Chain A
């Protein structure tokens, strides 16, 4: 398994002075999956991704990407990865196509393929008609799309996306996700991404929740939500008080009226629904079962919501700045 993992990480650590940015993480990314690194700002996501991309040397532990060690075979790793950073790394004074040509030459893409490949990746992100425009005239979303295209140009085995949709409007974010999903169908590629958007983590095959430099849990979004345990079930009945009483007597469930419906929590709600109809002993007009959200998951593993975790970081930074005065 370890040999053909797209990314394999063992006890990877990074310290800056006294600060332990990454405290020994272990995980494996399977070939072909979309793997998400979910955590608040400052949790160690970017440091980890930088070590995997050979931009930062680890303090301890080891990691291989596409089968190559990130410290010993740095060039080999670089040849096999595509990178899209949080901050743009395009030359605004060159045209979109010139930026990609520069990349193709730098990565040694075989000469005969350069033109076709550039066209293909630009069509994938719907920028081919803007190929001759200078990049500085592009919007934030277009720049990000172009960077994704560039990251794919040399057919990397693993594409690293560091917060690919941060700072973009919702429409552009969903368009970018459209491209990423399309990409999985077209190319034989593994995608490793970081995000602090819960709704985006849903698109991943598996996610690792990282907090304070440690990986707290790794699993598919579905399994993570299931691990939180209970689904939320809401039913509409002719007599809510009677329904609540029946739920308590027959199933031992505590229910309450929320949002105009009788609401209760139960493990594997979908399997519970048939029993509910059979045994409740009164008519049910409608039923809805909802899974716990990733917010609930994050909350149950880290003890805080992702927003609180970020606000907390902001606060400590602010306090530190104040203390320095």
Chain B
């Protein structure tokens, strides 16, 4: 039994303190993820189904149309982004969960800025989603993508960026939501069209103009395209096939460079993060 109380003096608020808050919120996100094997496995099921069942089925149909490449190789970057996005959204959804079960209150009454909590959450979601993406990266060989360290580093960085932005988007949605069902309903509603219009499932070349417009305004397009360009740069495919499957994104006659695409994703992520923080500040 302790006889002498250890008296703690909590220091005044500082950047260092906010940094610790970011770190611990992030750390909790990872602990929760690592402890939940079921979630890890279930997050893998969907992209694997798409890649190996849909991909194989559709691939046998279009084999003649795209010589020299497996359709699954084409889908692979799309499935990476899908995994990352689902995982990131789930992490963001845990805010609603925390609110329902009271833990959010523990965070919101602490003497730290709301910003630190939201940033911690977004970084945590991004890291967890990138971790999940590594499992998809491990399957590269099965779909004919070479295990090249340079490629993987590029993919990891791009995954992290996409995951951060989507988690920020999810956090912004979750900021006001009171129950899980609403959040997951809305999440499905938002994710499905974004997936379909992003070029994850089919190439964005030669589309009817209305569909082309939708794909260009879809922010996810700019997260998927860099992944695909990175993968295709490490493949040996005929030029005309590359033009069909990996056309990049065009604004009228302007071919959008990868760096600009990544910049757009990053800028959007920061903007969403800002909105999320503002919402949490206002919610008090």
Contacts and interface: CB of A to CB of B under 8 A. Distances in A.
Given A88-B102, A106-B112, A186-B2, A153 B8 contact: yes
Contacts of A79: 10, 12-13, 111
A242 interface: no
Interface in A63-98: 75-76, 78-80, 83, 85, 87-94, 98
Interface string B79-114: 000000000000000000010011101110111100
B120 to A, nearest CB: 10
B6 A108 contact: no
A105 B8 contact: no
Interface in A257-286: none
Contact of A89 (B1, B6, B12, B106): B106
B109 A120 contact: no
A102 interface: yes
A108 B32 contact: no
B17 interface: yes
Contacts of B28: 91, 94, 98, 102
B101 to A, nearest CB: 7
A188 B8 contact: no
Contacts of B105: 85, 89
Given A94-B31, A103-B106, A108-B21, 13 more contacts: A87-B102, A98-B31, A101-B24, A102-B106, A105-B20, A105-B21, A105-B24, A106-B106, A106-B107, A108-B10, A108-B20, A120-B2, A124-B2
Interface of A: 53-55, 57, 75-76, 78-80, 83, 85, 87-94, 98, 101-103, 105-110, 113, 116-117, 120, 123-124, 153-155, 186-188
- 10 closest pairs, A vs B, by CB? A105-B24, A78-B111, A89-B102, A155-B8, A106-B110, A108-B17, A89-B106, A79-B111, A75-B111, A120-B2
A155 B107 contact: no
B35 interface: yes
Contacts of B32: 91, 93-94
B8 A117 contact: yes
A76 to B, nearest CB: 8
A187 to B, nearest CB: 5
B23 interface: yes
A91 B103 contact: yes
B11 interface: yes
B5 A83 contact: no
Nearest to B102: A89
7 contacts: A89-B102, A98-B28, A106-B110, A108-B10, A108-B13, A123-B2, A187-B7
